[in-house]
Structure 1
Amino acid sequence: MPSIYFSVVWPDETRSQCYSPSTVIKKYIVEGESYEVELFLEKVREGLGEASDRVSAKFGFSCSAAADELRTIEERIEKANYPKGSKVLVKRITENDL
């Protein structure tokens, strides 16, 4: 199952590389697009949830890496307390076809 890395630029201009165990995340976020922080979090929650479901359907167990990535993103957003209307840029999406 191909996985995805998506690089984001946070409102404070810091960068992160995030992971999804499935390409399904591309239904939720688009390379080059900016999303308000709240919308980005909503899209990532849905996308990583569906990605974990796909792993579960294929392998019989949910993907802890997807849950860990979501927790990391949620914690970052909570700690940063970005001002309302701040945006996250999805800089790049890369498939990892292992």
Structure 2
Amino acid sequence: MPEIRFQIELPDGSQEVCYSPSLIVKDYFTSGSEYALTDFIDRSRTALNIASDRVRAKYGRPCGLALGQLAQIEAMASKYSDVTKPKVRLLKFIE
């Protein structure tokens, strides 16, 4: 399976590199685009669950890395609960 990483900028300006075991994230995000934090989480949840399901279909078990990445994104989001209209920018895909 082709894996991919994507670099994001968080509401406080810090940056993170995220992982997906599938290119499906390219169907949900566009390089250079900005997303409301809740939209970013929803898109991440959908894309990473699909990616994990693809791994399960091929290897018989879900992808722990994809599910772990989703857990990190959800934990990160909680840090910005007091920010008004927080945004996340997808800076680039790293293939």
TM-score range, shorter chain: over 0.9
Instruction: For residue 82 of structure 1, report the CA deviation from its aligned partner.
Output: 4.9
TM-score under structure 1 length normalisation: 0.92
Instruction: Give the counterpart letter for 1:4 in structure 2.
Output: I
Residues 78-97 of structure 1: pairs in structure 2 closer than 5 A: 78-95=78-95
What number of residue pairs does the alignment pair up?
95
Give the equivalent residue in structure 2 for 1:46. 46
Over 4 Å off, 4+ runs: none
Looking at structure 2, the residues matched to 61 and 82 of structure 1 have their Cα atoms a distance apart, in angstroms, of 37
- 1:67 alignment partner in structure 2: 67
> Deviation of residue 28 (structure 1)?
0.8
**Alignment match, 2:13:** 13
Q: CA deviation at 1:42?
A: 0.2
Give the Cα–Cα distance (whole angstroms) in 1 for the partners of residues 66 and 54 of structure 2: 11
Alpha-carbon separation, structure 2, partners of 1:78 and 1:89: 17
Gaps of 5+ in 1: none
Q: SS in structure 2 opposite 1:44?
A: helix
| 1:76 counterpart residue number | 76
Residues 11, 80 of structure 2: 8 Å contact kept: no
Q: 2: CA distance between counterparts of 1:80 and 1:20?
A: 23
Give me the whole-angstrom Cα distance separating, in 2, the residues matched to 1:69 and 1:18. 7
Q: What is the CA RMSD across the aligned residues, in angstroms?
A: 1.0
Aligned to 1:23, the other structure's residue is in SS state coil
SS in 1 for 2:76: helix
Q: Any unmatched runs of 5+ in structure 2?
A: none
- % of aligned pairs identical? 37
